[in-house]
Amino acid sequence: MQKYLLCRHGELTEGQSKGFSLGDSAAGTANVFAVMKNGEVFAYKNNCPHRGINLEWQEDQFLDPDGALIQCASHGALFQIETGECVAGPCAGDALTPVPIEYGRDGIYVLMAD
Q: Which residues bind ligand FES (CB under 6 A)?
A: 48, 50-51, 53, 72, 74-75, 77, 89-90
**DSSP string of 48-109?**
-TTTSS-S-SSTT--B-TTSSEEE-TTT--EEETTT-BEEESTTTT-B--B--EEE-SSEEE
Looking at beta carbons only, is 69 or 77 nearer to ligand FES?
Answer: 77
CB of 53 to ligand FES, least distance (A): 5
CB of 44 to ligand FES, least distance (A): 13
Looking at beta carbons only, is 18 or 89 nearer to ligand FES?
Answer: 89
Rounded CA gap, 36 and 48, in Å? Answer: 19
Q: List the end-to-end C-alpha distance of the chain, in Å, as a whole number.
A: 6
Local structure of 112: helix, strand or coil: strand
Looking at beta carbons only, is 2 or 97 nearer to ligand FES?
Answer: 97
CB of 76 to ligand FES, least distance (A): 6
Looking at beta carbons only, is 21 or 74 nearer to ligand FES?
Answer: 74
